[in-house]
């Protein structure tokens, strides 16, 4: 083939004009080249207390998820894996309002370290990317290949059949008839728009079905004095502001399950009726 182009593989570790700082700047200039989505640069060489500097901090434009990125020229080694996880841990503790994922980039990720990264995956969200450099007509190009992907954790619906069924009476004993009635009030709000949604009593929680199929955009956990409404929504500044400006008792935002956990009584439900209706509709429509 006369138009065939010979790509010459280049070792970045041994390249006289390239170092890690060069690669940092290339990725910082266009984070999308990593193949992780529409990312923007949040910081470069980010100082970590008593732990050195994080090569790159990237953030997803839509979900606000953050990626703590470490780069190594040549073969991946233990120290860079430990450093990547350490920086990820520092950032997630300091900024718990975001989802965080550790990203390690290296020229050579051997099978040994692939196995080690796989062991971490599921407990620590981590992505491994192998970086290859090629020279064509005197110019250098980089190719990033994901060799370890972040393990996607299952949602409540995925594990629905493993939960033992329960009854209304079961939850009235765990809580009270009055607190279970708060769940009924919420179901009435849901059914104003979505008539086919019903309650499903499990021993772990009270969930929802639509036309007999689990659809847990909200789950309920009943206590003696209140219920806990866990409503699945992507966290945004808009929703945070709506809740913070209301009288709702927000316990936390669960980054893993992407749920706002709100403590609720019958009075709080009535006092915040319009807002709860808005949150329910947003959750259903985004499911």
- Please, how many CA atoms are within 13 Å of residue 137, restricted to the half-sphere of its CB? 2
Nearest residue to 124 via CA among 138, 105, 139, 104: 104
CA 152 to mean position of chain CA atoms: 9
What integer pLDDT is reported at residue 158 of this predicted model? Answer: 47
For residues 183 and 177, is the Cβ–Cβ distance under 8 A? no
Q: Where are the domain boundaries for CATH 3.90.1150.200 in the chain?
A: 156-286
CATH number 3.90.1150.200 given to 156-286? yes
Nearest residue to 8 via CA among 146, 141, 105: 141
Highest mean pLDDT among 54-63, 127-136, 246-255, 269-278: 269-278
pLDDT band at 15 (very low <50, low <70, confident <90, very high): confident
pLDDT band at 139 (very low <50, low <70, confident <90, very high): confident
CA dihedral 104, 105, 111, 116 (to 10 degrees): -10
Q: Where are the domain boundaries for CATH 3.40.1350.10 in the chain?
A: 8-148
CB neighbours (10 Å) of residue 183?
Answer: 22
- Structure-block tokens of residue 261: 């956990």
Strand partners, 6: none
Question: How far is 25 from 39, CA to CA, in rounded Å?
Answer: 15
pLDDT tens digits, one per residue of 90-120: 998 888 878 899 999 999 988 887 787 877 7
- Structure-block tokens of residue 129: 């990317």
pLDDT tens digits, one per residue of 176-208: 999 999 999 999 999 999 999 999 999 889 999
Question: How far is 34 from 174, CA to CA, in rounded Å?
Answer: 49
Stated pTM of the model: 0.57
Q: Which residues contact 239 (CB under 8 A, 6 or more apart)?
A: 233, 260, 279, 282
Q: Does the pLDDT value for residue 160 go beyond 70?
A: no
Q: Give percent of the chain with pLDDT exceeding 70.
A: 92
8-148 architecture in CATH? 3-Layer(aba) Sandwich (3.40)
């Amino acid at each position: 083939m006369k138009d065939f182009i010979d790509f010459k593989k280049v070792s970045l570790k041994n390249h006289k004009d390239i170092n890690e700082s060069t690669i940092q700047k290339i990725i910082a200039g266009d984070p999308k080249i990593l193949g992780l989505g529409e990312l923007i640069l949040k910081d470069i060489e980010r100082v970590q207390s008593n732990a050195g500097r994080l090569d790159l901090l990237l953030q997803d434009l839509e979900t606000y998820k953050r990626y703590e990125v470490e780069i190594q020229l040549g073969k991946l080694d233990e120290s860079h894996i430990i450093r990547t996880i350490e920086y990820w841990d520092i950032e997630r503790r300091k900024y718990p309002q975001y989802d965080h994922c550790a990203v390690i980039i290296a020229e050579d990720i051997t099978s040994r370290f692939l196995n080690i990264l796989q062991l971490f995956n599921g407990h620590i969200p981590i992505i491994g990317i192998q970086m290859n450099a090629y020279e064509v007509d005197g110019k250098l190009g980089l190719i990033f290949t994901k060799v370890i992907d972040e393990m996607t954790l299952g949602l409540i619906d995925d594990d629905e059949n493993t939960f033992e069924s329960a009854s209304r009476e079961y939850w009235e004993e765990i809580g009270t008839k009055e607190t279970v009635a708060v769940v009924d009030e919420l179901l009435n709000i849901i059914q104003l728009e979505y008539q086919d949604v019903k309650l499903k009593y499990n021993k772990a929680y009270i969930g929802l079905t639509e036309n007999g199929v689990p659809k847990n955009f909200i789950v309920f956990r009943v206590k003696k004095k209140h219920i806990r409404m866990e409503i699945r929504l992507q966290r945004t500044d808009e929703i945070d502001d709506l809740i913070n400006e209301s009288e709702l008792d927000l316990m936390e935002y669960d980054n893993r399950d992407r749920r706002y956990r709100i403590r609720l009584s019958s009075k709080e439900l009535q006092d915040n009726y319009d807002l709860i209706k808005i949150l329910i509709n947003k959750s259903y429509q985004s499911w």
